[in-house]
Amino acid sequence: MLLKTAQAGTLESSDCLVVVSPADSHSLEYSGQNAAIFKRRTERIVAEIAKRCAPQGAAVQVQDRGALEATLRARVETAFERASKQEQQMSMRGGQ
Amino acid sequence: MMMRTGRRPCRSMLYMPGNNPGMMQHVPAFGADSVLLDLEDAVAEREKDAARRLVAHFVREVDFGSVVVTVRVNGADTPWFERDLEEVVPSGLAAVRIPKCHSPEDVKRADAVIGRIERERDMPEGGVRIHAMLETAHGIERAFEIARASERVEALTLGGQDLTADMGVQKTRDGVELFYARGRVVMAAKAAGLAAFDTVWTDIEDTEGLKNEARLAAQMGFTGKAAIHPSQIDAIHEAWRPDPRELRRAVRVVGAAERAEREGRGVISVDGRMVDAPIVVRAFALIQLGRLYGMDVITESDVIAESKEAGL
């Protein structure tokens, strides 16, 4: 269950910045220089991870700077995990 | 010393920040023998979770070609140690580098955690190796015990930056302050049948300094050396490349030894000098290294074998 808005990744070349927020349904806002080419790939990966990590719904924003699939998956998963953690847990686990 | 990860050279181990996908995706193009994806010093505390997830996906999904992939996790005394291992061990990497190994217990702890993960994930037990990093005075003094602490230990590595800090001395250009530590690490690794990796050269602009230090490490018996920038790779490889003249002499020595054996003679001489058993062993090792590093080496027995194959 998502508890808060969280982000992962950067806007550096070959990376992507992912922002995940709690929501009642699923939505994806995808932008980037090659967004038209990678739209389907990104939708598929985000939907797969969102279904697993937040079945009740999530608003996801991805700003893509040319991320490989491995990078996109890692950043989306990290953003979901961060959005699911309480602040208290974060400090107890050494900043995770 | 050959790495158990396969008959692949490991002269250079290129450090890559574990949270930088742009750099990691270019690893195969840099030409290093091995890459060391770093979750420790190169990653800020608040990004540890993102880096370990990124590294795990990269190792699992990105083709690194012939580059040996290792990951430096955070130390056993940090809150990230077990989480790092949980994520990277199942990804299919060759080895994990465990920093700041003070004692055999540090290796045993890593071995126990890796073993548990392998069993839980139905992975072949013992498949993921350990490179134990020695970077404290205590760790250096217990090098051999650390080397023998687990069957997983494949290499000892020297961490010169932290070690000199621990010793309370400055890291100098000629590296005299690390001479004992280098010798200790190499000897412990050799005695245990492991590889040994030298510390980084931090001044990227000083190529001459890097060449001298890499040559010293190669002469002392290290298997390879860590690099912090792709521009350091060629100089490191050069240091480990056998001298062509020595290699040609090694071919003559091995050829003479093989002839003597066929003819039942005990004593041989090459280029007017007597050759005894250790010289033949060293010559054979040099030929193996030359071949491992891609040099063309043809021995007398190769020619005989080829002639037999061709029916001559």
- Nearest residue on chain B to A79, judged by CA atoms? B50
Domain total for chain B?
Answer: 2
Instruction: State the CATH number of the domain containing residue B187.
Output: 3.20.20.60
Query: Does residue A1 lie in a domain region?
Result: no
Would the CB atoms of A70 and B46 count as touching at under 8 Å? no
pTM (predicted TM-score): 0.87
Query: Does residue B4 lie in a domain region?
Result: no
Query: Does residue B6 lie in a domain region?
Result: no
Would the CB atoms of B53 and A95 count as touching at under 8 Å? no
**Dihedral angle at the C-alpha atoms of B93, B97, B103, B106, nearest 10 degrees?**
-50
Q: What pLDDT, on the 0 to 100 scale, is given for residue B307?
A: 66
Domain boundary among B221, B240, B259: B240
* Residue B312, pLDDT above cutoff 80: no
Count of pairs with CB atoms under 8 A, one residue in A, one in B: 63
**What is the pLDDT averaged over residues B175-197?**
97
Query: Does residue A16 lie in a domain region?
Result: yes
Query: In chain A, which residues have pLDDT < 50?
Result: 90-96
Lowest mean pLDDT of A26-35, B72-81, B124-133, B272-281, name the range. B272-281
Q: Write out the residues of chain B at the interface with chain A, using a CB-CB cutoff of 8 A.
A: 20-22, 25, 45-46, 48-50, 53-54, 56-58, 60-62, 78-80, 83
Q: How many CA atoms lie within 13 A of A1 on its CB side?
A: 2
Residue B92: strand, helix, or coil: coil
Q: What pLDDT, on the 0 to 100 scale, is given for residue A96?
A: 36
- Nearest residue on chain B to A66, judged by CA atoms? B22
Query: Does residue A89 lie in a domain region?
Result: no
Q: Are residues B259 and B164 in the same domain?
A: no
Q: Are residues B196 and B288 in the same domain?
A: no
Chain B contacts in chain A segment 35-94 (CB below 8 A) = 67-71, 73-75, 77-78, 81-82, 93-94
Q: Are residues B235 and B249 in the same domain?
A: no
Q: Are residues B161 and B301 in the same domain?
A: no
- Range(s) of the domain holding residue B276: 244-309
Q: Are residues B274 and B145 in the same domain?
A: no
CB nearest A95 (choices: B46, B58, B60)? B46
Residue B1: strand, helix, or coil: coil
In this structure, what token pair is assigned to residue B292? 């491992």
Query: Does residue A91 lie in a domain region?
Result: no
Q: Are residues B155 and B292 in the same domain?
A: no
Query: Does residue A80 lie in a domain region?
Result: yes
**What is the pLDDT averaged over residues B253-277?**
85
- Range(s) of the domain holding residue A34: 6-84
Terminal Cα distance for chain B, rounded: 37
Considering only CA atoms, which of B49, B21, B92, B58 is closest in space to residue A70? B58
**Please, what is the Cα angle at B187 between B186 and B191, to 5 degrees?**
120
Please report the ipTM that was assigned to this predicted complex: 0.90
Would the CB atoms of A74 and B53 count as touching at under 8 Å? yes
Q: Are residues B229 and B273 in the same domain?
A: no
- Cβ–Cβ under 8 Å, residues B13 and B226: yes
- Cβ–Cβ under 8 Å, residues B132 and B157: yes
Q: Are residues B223 and B254 in the same domain?
A: no
Would the CB atoms of A15 and B62 count as touching at under 8 Å? no
Domain total for chain A?
Answer: 1
Query: Does residue A94 lie in a domain region?
Result: no
Q: Are residues B63 and B156 in the same domain?
A: yes
- Cβ–Cβ under 8 Å, residues B88 and B73: yes
